[in-house]
Amino acid sequence: MKTKKDYPEYMWATLSWPEIAERLKIVDTAILPCGAIEQHGPHLPVDVDYFDAAYLAERVAAACQEPRPFVLPALPYGVSYHHSEFKGTICVTNNALSALVYDIGMSLAHNGIKKIVILNGHGDNAPTLKYAAQMINRDAKIFVCVETGETSDVDIYDLIKTHNDIHAGEIETSTSMAIRPELVNMEKAVDDTLDLDNEYLDFTSERGVSWYVHTKKLSSSGVMGNARLATPEKGKVMWEIMIRKMTDFVETIKNISSDELYQNKY
């Protein structure tokens, strides 16, 4: 049987209000994981972005020094209209997601949280989450940031062979194999690598311009990348890098005072 000790002291949802009140005296940082429930090809479950964001947030908090940041319950649903031609995709509008994240952020500020790290597991949530972050900052005047892999993407892309590996391909299949191999069906894994070969249109190019398309137009399987090249070993290395870089980032945020962040001019 589980005991109270099995529940980490930084997981917001399983604390009582007096425990949260006590912890708020020493912790001013909270991580809000945001995901999506959307198709991830014929070989992966639809919850990859949600599960991975929640998993990363928890692992990062565990890897931090005391006092560890709070981890909020992850938001499962995201902006996934572009996958809606595939069954299993549940999408919410940009307006609904930004309103929800804004309300959560304002409520966290009301609780006394001074720094919010929105840990985003789904690339297409990014503009909406950044909009919400700006609104929270405008109204609550607290630190809010959105991380969608920026702290580790350059290292991850160095590890893979696939060009434009953006969805359910070499990266996401590897990371899923490393932590939930029982949910990966490699017999159904396909290579649907996009070959745009254009520095402005490539999704992973440093000069890439943001553009939007329904996935079905580009890929009949829903995969954009090469899932066949995935291995659990690669996935394990990717998780180690993501956890290490994200922990380093959260520690930086956690240990810097608002005065320092704003150069004492705010």
The DSSP element (H or E) to which 16 belongs, if any, is: none
Backbone angles phi, psi at 77, to 5 degrees: -100, 145
Nearer to Zn ion, 88 or 112 (CB): 88
Listed in sequence order, the residues at least 6 apart from 243 whose beta carbon sits closer than 8 Å to its beta carbon are 56, 59, 60, 63
Binding site for Zn ion (CB under 5 A): 48-49
Nearer to Zn ion, 64 or 166 (CB): 166
Q: Which of 165, 103, 173 is nearest to 140 (CA)?
A: 103
Neighbours of 94 (CB within 10 A): 18
Residue nearest to Zn ion (CB): 49
Shortest distance in whole angstroms from residue 51 CB to Zn ion: 10
Shortest distance in whole angstroms from residue 57 CB to Zn ion: 16
Shortest distance in whole angstroms from residue 41 CB to Zn ion: 10
Shortest distance in whole angstroms from residue 251 CB to Zn ion: 26
Nearer to Zn ion, 49 or 165 (CB): 49
Alpha carbons 20 and 86: distance in angstroms, whole number: 41
Q: Which residues pair with 11 in a beta bridge?
A: 71
Residue 178 structure tokens = 């490393």
Nearer to Zn ion, 49 or 192 (CB): 49
Q: Name the packing angle between helices 94-111 and 126-140 (round to 10°).
A: 40
Shortest distance in whole angstroms from residue 36 CB to Zn ion: 7
Shortest distance in whole angstroms from residue 131 CB to Zn ion: 21
Backbone angles phi, psi at 163, to 5 degrees: -80, 140
Q: Which of 70, 134, 67 is nearest to 98 (CA)?
A: 134
Nearer to Zn ion, 49 or 147 (CB): 49
CA angle, corner 235, sides to 180 and 121, nearest 5?
75
Nearer to Zn ion, 48 or 178 (CB): 48
